[in-house]
């Protein structure tokens, strides 16, 4: 699924009508920016959320709801970008496969002709080997790339739970 629904993760007050109101609260906006960054560990992000919630004296439910709305918006956007990157990556792999197939067919046709250009056959062989290596390297990198949306969903769920335990 390219986008998430807040109801899949959040049992607090609805966020549908909040829009980007979370950006109007400087403390909430700063926290959202920090905890949604992949540079911050999930443990540190949870601790920062707990500290923020523990320091709230007024409007706790509203501000925690704003926090979730911002977190949801940021992480959902990052997740959509990750999925788009996976799609682009997969399309590039298909292009590489098609190019490899065409090169193999061409080299097979050239080898069938005894008078074929040996230099062209050698060049095609080198090109095939290079494209094969690129394809294999990219295939190995695909798994970590595909894990990004899952890791983002996990972060969103953990942060939502961290905020929900502090709701009034």
pLDDT tens per residue across span 40-77: 999 999 999 999 999 998 899 999 999 999 999 999 99
Does position 116 have pLDDT exceeding 70, yes or no?
Answer: no
Total of domains in the chain:
1
Identify the residue with better confidence: 84 or 113.
Answer: 84
Q: Whole-prediction pTM value?
A: 0.80
In a domain, 144, yes or no: yes
Considering the domain boundaries, does residue 75 fall inside one? yes
Q: Does 34 reside within a domain? A: yes
> 97 lies in a domain?
yes
Among residues 83, 100, 75, which one has the least CA distance to residue 145? 83
Residue 71 lies in a domain: yes
Question: Sorting pLDDT into bands at 50, 70 and 90, what band is 114?
Answer: low
Nearest C-alpha neighbor of 163 from the set 8, 16, 52:
52
User: Is 1 within a domain?
Assistant: no
**Which domain covers residue 68, as residue numbers?**
6-164
3-state secondary structure of 4: coil
Q: Does residue 48 sit within a domain?
A: yes
> pLDDT tens-digit profile of 22-40?
999 999 999 999 999 989 9
Q: What is the full DSSP assignment across 28-85? A: HHHHHHHHTSTTS-HHHHHHHHHHHHHH--SSHHHHHHHHHHHHHHHHHHHHHHHHHH
Instruction: Say how many C-beta atoms besides its own lie within 10 A of residue 159's C-beta.
Output: 25
20: phi then psi, degrees, rounded to nearest 5: -100, 25
In a domain, 86, yes or no: yes
Q: How many CB atoms lie within 10 A of CB 56?
A: 16
Within 10 Å of residue 114's Cβ, how many Cβ atoms?
Answer: 5
């Amino acid at each position: 699924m390219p986008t998430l629904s807040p109801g899949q993760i959040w049992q607090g007050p609805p966020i549908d009508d909040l829009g980007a109101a979370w950006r109007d609260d400087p403390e909430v906006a700063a926290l959202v920016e920090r905890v949604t960054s992949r540079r911050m560990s999930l443990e540190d992000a949870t601790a920062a959320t707990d500290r923020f919630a523990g320091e709230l004296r007024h409007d706790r439910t509203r501000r925690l709801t704003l926090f979730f709305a911002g977190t949801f918006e940021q992480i959902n956007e990052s997740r959509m970008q990750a999925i788009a990157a996976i799609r682009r990556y997969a399309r590039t792999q298909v292009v590489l496969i098609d190019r490899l197939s065409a090169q193999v067919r061409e080299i097979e046709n050239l080898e069938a002709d005894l008078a074929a250009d040996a230099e062209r056959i050698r060049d095609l062989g080198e090109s095939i080997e290079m494209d094969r290596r690129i394809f294999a390297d990219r295939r190995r990198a695909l798994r970590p790339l595909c894990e990004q949306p899952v890791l983002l969903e996990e972060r969103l769920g953990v942060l939502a739970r961290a905020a929900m335990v502090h709701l009034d």
